[in-house]
Amino acid sequence: MTEFAPRYLKDYSAPEYQINTVNLEVALNDSATLVTNSMSIQRMVTTNVPLVLDGEHMVLKSVAINGAELSSDDYQVTDSALTIFPNAEQFELTIITELNPSANTALEGLYKSGEAYCTQCEAEGFRRISYFLDRPDVMAIYTTKVIADKSQYPYLLANGNKIDAGELDDDKHFVTWHDPFPKPCYLFALVAGNFDLLTSNYTTRSGRQVALELFVDKGNLSRAEHAMTSLIKSMQWDEQVFDLEYDLDIYMIVAVDFFNMGAMENKGLNVFNSKYVLADDLSATDEDFFNIEAVIAHEYFHNWTGNRVTCRDWFQLSLKEGLTVFRDQQFSGDMNSAAVTRIKNVRTLRSLQFAEDAGPMAHPIRPEKVVEMNNFYTMTVYEKGAEVIRMMHTILGKEGFKAGIDLYFDRHDGQAVTCDDFVAAMSDASNVDLSTFKNWYSQSGTPSLIVTDSFDQSNNQYQISVKQVHPQAHDKQQKQNLHIPINLELLATEAINAEGSTKANVVNELLHLKETEQTWTFSNIDKQPIPVLLGNFSAPVKLEFDYTDEQLLAIMVNASDAFNRWDAGQKLFARYIEMLVNDEATEVPQQVYDAIADILNSGADEALKAEQLTLPSFDEMADSLDKVNADKLANALSRLKINIAAKLTDVLFATYQQCSSTEFAKDGKAIGKRALKNVCLNYLASAKEFDSVVIGQFNNSNNMTDQLAAIKAAALNDLPCFEQVMASFEQQWQDDTLVMDKWFSVNALHNHPDVINRVTKLLSHPKFSLDNPNRARSLIGAFAFSNGKYFHQHDGQGYQFLADQIAKLNTINPQVASRILTPLIQYKSFAKEHQQQMLTQLQRLNDMPNLCRDLQEKLTATLN
Ligand code: B3K
Ligand code: ZN
């Protein structure tokens, strides 16, 4: 088997050639697209060196230098590169290649999504379109002429502004686009198809008129409005918060059904997974609407953080992704509830990123070694990367952070730069030393903070000591101290028992932990306070402090920070889940139930209450427990849920009814009420007598949030109505691709011993196909990622099912295969009895011939 060679950050060297302009002519054809690529190339080093261009999965038709065609003796071509030997400092290179887009199921480079052509070049897809220096520090100005059949492909799109268009023979036409901004080839895009078009316009703060164009499949126009509104909000927000304006005369978004990820920020021409564009009240949930707004914003924000200033090399990916995720999180917080948005982000981090950071693919937010770049679009680079940016925001303050951003753009607009450049701008603008902080970029693993405290009544002094501990990770890295910002609040204890008292905080400040261990002393403290740490989750770490139940209950009510109030409740839940794992007869004390009832009866915001009532996820618990038996964990989770439902049936049902409304609205209040109502429904549905309530909600719902919540409650609680509501849902939505993805997922969540059979049968459902990533993820991904109980069932059938599908995806779509391998490679978090079964499947995959690079990198990391 070929071992694919890794690349290392330490080996970076500047390109020997630059490509200044690119003139592309793309004549589209399903199996034989012809690409003529004329580049003006400049040598950057003094001596003559060969020019090695990346290229794969295409046929080389011809190569010419300054118009003179080379004979095949004058160049070398392999299955991954074309080497030529130019004898000049400056020259024109013209390369003609032939591509087969209809055979491209990997969805990288040029491919077909349904009837349309589209491209995906990040990270290294341009090399499937033409031979090129496929690296982000080679930035060129592109002119792209697209040619295709006129009636089948009335819209021909590429980056930049339209500069020419016309008719050709044989019912063909062409459109030529010019992008004045130099860009790396990963931002190149081309689309051709027959779409419905939603247009709008936007005038930037400095008066630029921008045409906004959103292309969707025929018949979907009514579902495009929310995406357009979200785009306009994003443009306004970036002007208001960061003084960043859009820079071209047109901004286009195309929604396609076949897409490996969420969306892609190609300059002036974003390509989106239709899941993050299309929405209407009947077919999309509140969560879908939220996510669309966030992804539209994310891709728009990339225009500055990613496109105007890009990455020097792919090891710097977090330069653009961490920063852009931070920006979209701030935007979502401003458009919605900031506290609830933050809680959702933290949940994602704890359930998925912490596990990644503890597993065999653990890497720093700036990785040092990469085999397949597509494997590094990870929770760590994105979500932990955003946490690292957020910590700088916390350390420097809002104004300091903005000054740093301004300096970053002053220095680097139009350049391809590094994470070090970003931190230097942040540090220089405020004159703050970030040298210890920078270790966050090079260190993997989730740190723990071990906290102890003491109170001296004789002199009214309170002391708190915090120690940073770094797990020995899979990568065996030498660990260094980090600069960890810790928001601390000291709650006065007397306030806690006093009837009706609120928020009696005595101290609220930001601690900077930089040493292995530091102690802070507070004077004039009357009584032993309760330390409340990591307000707003000020650092992506785990906290170890011996809180009593009473202290957690006090924090849940009295902490001034909503995240801390929520988190105290999660800690309390996690404590009893863990006890239930160890002893299923554990009695949960009455005061825990009382606290939940108090939350439900309080006047707090419903969206926050919904988060407070949601138990920690299976994944989050699995990460915090050692060598977990999945069955025991799933049972502990369901026991706690059933107990809460049984003890609090009345108040849960009362809340359910109060939050139910016959009228559909989409403001924050209405969304919060739906969230709370559906959390209550899921608790209630753990008792079979609520079957009829679930059926009632299913039949009467006038929106997808409620309808989906009903079938999910039926699935998760294995209610008698399950088959009936699922059949009726399928009947209603069979022709709707995005809604059918939801249906496939709910099938995979069924809390029933026969679920693997069900999922296996669905592989032959007429609407199922492994070729469509959304569909593959909706069934196989949902099962492996979200049905912990049966994915880990003791006979290993869940693992085998997943491995069987990955084996097929290995040749169809390596990126999708590699992503859904995740739950298997984290085998070490599970108990011995699971590990062996998981390893058997990992080994079986590893033994496959023709293992794709993506899978091979992960399997090698896992098995070695
Ligand atoms: N930059 C793209 C991700 C590309 C992934 C390539 N495998 C989407 C985003 O983060 O905005
Ligand atoms: Zn991004």
Angstrom distance (rounded) from CA 340 to CA 611: 7
Tell me how far the alpha carbon of residue 547 lies from the centroid of ligand 1, in angstroms.
41
Handedness of CA 689, 690, 694, 697 (dihedral sign): positive
Residues of the chain whose pLDDT is less than 50? 495-505
Of 107, 118, 120, 264, which is best to mutate to test ligand 1, by the most ligand atoms within 8 angstroms of its C-beta? Answer: 264
Of 108, 299, 606, 857, which is the active-site residue? 299
pLDDT of residue 501: 45
Angstrom distance (rounded) from CA 430 to CA 458: 41
pLDDT of residue 135: 99
pLDDT of residue 477: 73
Q: Is 534 left (phi over 0), alpha (psi -120 to 50) or beta?
A: left
pLDDT of residue 497: 43
Domain ranges of the chain: 17-192, 311-442, 448-558
Same fold, 17-192 and 448-558: yes
Of 118, 119, 261, which is best to mutate to test ligand 1, by the most ligand atoms within 8 angstroms of its C-beta? Answer: 261
Looking at all shown ligands, the one closest to residue 265's CA atom is 1
CATH 1.10.390.10 describes domain 311-442? yes
Angstrom distance (rounded) from CA 348 to CA 370: 24
Specify the residue with its C-alpha closest to ligand 1, atom 10.
321
What are phi and psi for residue 375, nearest 5 degrees?
A: -75, -5
Q: Nearest to residue 369, comparing CAs of 291, 314, 435?
A: 314
Tell me how far the alpha carbon of residue 8 lies from the centroid of ligand 1, in angstroms.
21
pLDDT of residue 495: 47
Annotated catalytic residue 108: no
Specify the residue with its C-alpha closest to ligand 1, atom 5.
122
Specify the residue with its C-alpha closest to ligand 1, atom 1.
264
Tell me how far the alpha carbon of residue 299 lies from the centroid of ligand 1, in angstroms.
9
Angstrom distance (rounded) from CA 660 to CA 702: 12
Looking at all shown ligands, the one closest to residue 262's CA atom is 1
Looking at all shown ligands, the one closest to residue 305's CA atom is 2
What are phi and psi for residue 827, nearest 5 degrees?
A: -65, -25
Angstrom distance (rounded) from CA 638 to CA 376: 34
Q: Which two tokens stand for residue 577?
A: 């889940």
Tell me how far the alpha carbon of residue 504 lies from the centroid of ligand 1, in angstroms.
45
Of 321, 326, 857, which is best to mutate to test ligand 1, by the most ligand atoms within 8 angstroms of its C-beta? Answer: 321
Strands 7-8 and 369-370: antiparallel
Whether the link from the prior residue into 123 is cis, omega within 30° of 0, is yes
What are phi and psi for residue 181, nearest 5 degrees?
A: -90, 125
pLDDT of residue 156: 99
The DSSP line for 73-117 is GGEEE-SSEEEE---SSEEEEEEEEEE-GGG--S--EEEEETTEE
pLDDT of residue 185: 99
For tokens 């401003």, what's the residue?
Answer: 334
The DSSP line for 299-358 is HHHTTTBTTTBEESSGGGHHHHHHHHHHHHHHHHHHHS-HHHHHHHHHHHIIIIIHHHHH
**Torsion on CA atoms 270, 275, 279, 282, rounded to nearest 10:** 170
Of 119, 122, 816, 819, which is best to mutate to test ligand 1, by the most ligand atoms within 8 angstroms of its C-beta? Answer: 122
Angstrom distance (rounded) from CA 692 to CA 96: 65
Query: What is the atom index within ligand 1 of the atom nearest the CA of 373?
Result: 7
Show the ligand 1 pocket: residues with CB < 6 angstroms. 122-123, 261, 263-265, 298-299, 302, 321, 374, 377
Amino acid at 384: K
pLDDT of residue 9: 98
Angstrom distance (rounded) from CA 729 to CA 862: 40
Q: Which long-range contacts (CB under 8 A, 24 or more apart) does 547-550 make?
A: 547/571, 549/575, 549/589, 549/591, 549/592, 550/591
Match domain 17-192 to its CATH number in 3.40.228.10, 2.60.40.1730, 3.30.110.70, 3.30.70.360.
2.60.40.1730
Q: Is 769 buried (19+), middle (13-18) or exposed (0-12) by CB count in 10 A? A: exposed
Specify the residue with its C-alpha closest to ligand 1, atom 8.
264
Crossing angle for the helix pair 737-749 and 704-716, nearest 10 degrees? 20
Tell me how far the alpha carbon of residue 265 lies from the centroid of ligand 1, in angstroms.
7
Per-residue HEC secondary structure of 248-313 comes to CCEEEEEEECCCCCCEECCCCEEEEEHHHCCCCCCCCCHHHHHHHHHHHHHHHHCCCECCCEEECC
Specify the residue with its C-alpha closest to ligand 1, atom 3.
264
Tell me how far the alpha carbon of residue 123 lies from the centroid of ligand 2, in angstroms.
11
| Residue 527: strand, helix, or coil | coil
Angstrom distance (rounded) from CA 780 to CA 805: 8
Ordered alpha helix ranges (H), 349-384 = 354-358, 379
pLDDT digits (tens, 9 = 90+) for 14-60: 999 999 999 999 999 999 999 999 999 999 999 999 999 999 999 99
Q: Which two tokens stand for residue 71?
A: 């004979």
Tell me how far the alpha carbon of residue 377 lies from the centroid of ligand 1, in angstroms.
7
Diameter over CA atoms, the chain: 95
Query: What is the atom index within ligand 1 of the atom nearest the CA of 123?
Result: 6
Angstrom distance (rounded) from CA 708 to CA 714: 10
Specify the residue with its C-alpha closest to ligand 1, atom 4.
122
Top CATH class, 448-558: mainly beta
Tell me how far the alpha carbon of residue 467 lies from the centroid of ligand 2, in angstroms.
34
User: Contact 549/573 with Cβ under 8 angstroms?
Assistant: no
Strands 140-149 and 116-120: unpaired
Query: 774-790: buried (b, 16+ CB within 10 Å) or exposed (e) per residue?
Result: bbbbbbbbbbbbbbbbb
Query: What is the atom index within ligand 1 of the atom nearest the CA of 122?
Result: 6
Query: What is the atom index within ligand 1 of the atom nearest the CA of 306?
Result: 1
Looking at all shown ligands, the one closest to residue 272's CA atom is 1
Tell me how far the alpha carbon of residue 301 lies from the centroid of ligand 2, in angstroms.
9
User: Contact 204/210 with Cβ under 8 angstroms?
Assistant: yes
